[in-house]
Amino acid sequence: MTVVGPFGLSVRDQALEADVQTGLAAVEAGLLEATKSEVPFITEAAQHLVRAGGKRFRPLLVMLAAQFGDPFAPGVVPAAVVVELTHLATLYHDDVMDEADVRRGVDSANSRWGNSVAVLTGDFLFARASHILADLGPDAVRIQAEAFERLVTGQILETAGPRDGRDPVEHYLDVLGGKTGSLVAVSCRLGAIESGADEGVIDILSQYGERLGVAFQLADDVLDIASDSHESGKTPGTDLREGIPTLPVLHLRAEAAAHGRPEDLELVALIDGDLADDTVLAEVLRRLREHPALEQARRDTVRFAEEARSMLAPLPEGFAKAALGELCDAVVHRAG
């Protein structure tokens, strides 16, 4: 048994291990190549988060999905580079919107070079991803474009908030399906398509990826409250400070509205107040870590991870299927 990829995924087959390791190494080289520019400053900014590392969760899914066809097909590695470039581009933009100072354990691009450079660098990465996509053909371009539309729509809906009468938790889960689930689903879909997998397998893996992506984001919601910066690679409470309505806070608000307990109402008031003071933020984090709302968010994470696992049932048994199932456990473990 060898540990590879994000979360310490255990691979129990030497052939699969070799395929995954070789593929991820090629993706890493592809990312560095794709982020080079004739302008040295652009190269530095574009490679800032590439060189900071990361879980490479989406490329790993491309590699595992490709196991249901020909994992050495020429489009597999470029597809993995595309989804990771797209993900990286959204991180540059997200950090501007969130005014984040830290990303992946290093200074965020916006804190280092300013918002304009960070936004434009994200655009540069989108452009490079599109260039690679063009070589994969019009179907790949369409699939990626549809996923990106869903991603942006999810981000806009998060900003706009739920319409009157809509349950905020249901709204938020729909938002995550677009913001995170769409690109994770495309990672599985493109890996399967480029490997020549059967249409039924492609659909199954896409549905698996959608649910796994939501579980992955819910685990991040929990980590924003429950972890320290060493674990998560970003400052704890970043989402809280920026007023982003993560699931633990939504559960807290629902509990406060339903029962009106003074301690819950007080905590909601603190969250709605000024969290610029580090002492106040630390107090909010402490109280949220002890609140049942955090455990409810963990249970929701488990539910989506188990839904993802159930989607795999029709796939042929083998080490690739087992590895995909283990990713469901790994996502849950992050929120544990």
What's residue 70's pLDDT? 96
Angle, CA of 58, 25 and 312, to the nearest 5°? 35
Whether pLDDT at 5 is above 60:
no
SS (H, E, C) the chain: CEEECHHHEEECCHHHHHHHHHHHHHHHHHHHHHCCCCCHHHHHHHCHHHHCCCCCHHHHHHHHHHHHCCCCCCCHHHHHHHHHHHHHHHHHHHHHHHCCCEECCEECHHHHHCHHHHHHHHHHHHHHHHHHHHHHCHHHHHHHHHHHHHHHHHHHHHHHCCCCCCCHHHHHHHHHHHHHHHHHHHHHHHHHHHHCCCHHHHHHHHHHHHHHHHHHHHHHHHHHHHCCHHHHCCCCCHHHHCCCCCHHHHHHHHHHHHHCCHHHHHHHHHHHCCCCCHHHHHHHHHHHHCCHHHHHHHHHHHHHHHHHHHHCCCCCCCHHHHHHHHHHHHHHHHCC
pLDDT in tens, 307-336: 999 999 999 999 999 999 999 999 888 876
Backbone angles phi, psi at 166, to 5 degrees: -85, 135
CA atoms within 13 A on the CB side of 122: 20
Domain extent for 243: 2-334
Question: Rounded to whole angstroms, what are the CA distances from 114 to 52, 233, 242, 304?
Answer: 18, 20, 18, 37
Distance between CA atoms of 265 and 257, rounded to whole angstroms?
8
What's residue 244's pLDDT? 83
What's residue 12's pLDDT? 65
CATH number at residue 133: 1.10.600.10
pLDDT in tens, 110-136: 877 778 888 898 999 999 999 999 999
Backbone angles phi, psi at 261, to 5 degrees: -65, 135
pLDDT in tens, 59-96: 999 999 999 999 999 999 999 999 999 999 998 887 77
| Structure token digits, residue 175 | 């938002």
For residue 286, how far is the Cα from the chain centroid? Answer: 25
Which residue in 276, 220, 222 sits closest to 101, CA to CA? 276
CA atoms within 13 A on the CB side of 243: 10
Q: What is the pTM of this model?
A: 0.89
Neighbours of 292 (CB within 10 A): 12
Whether pLDDT at 10 is above 70:
no
| Structure token digits, residue 192 | 């399967």
What's residue 115's pLDDT? 82
Whether pLDDT at 7 is above 60:
no
Q: Which amino acid is at 196?
A: G
The count of structural domains within the chain is 1
Q: Which amino acid is at 321?
A: K
pLDDT in tens, 16-50: 888 899 999 999 999 999 999 999 999 998 898 88
Distance between CA atoms of 5 and 196, rounded to whole angstroms?
23
What's residue 3's pLDDT? 43
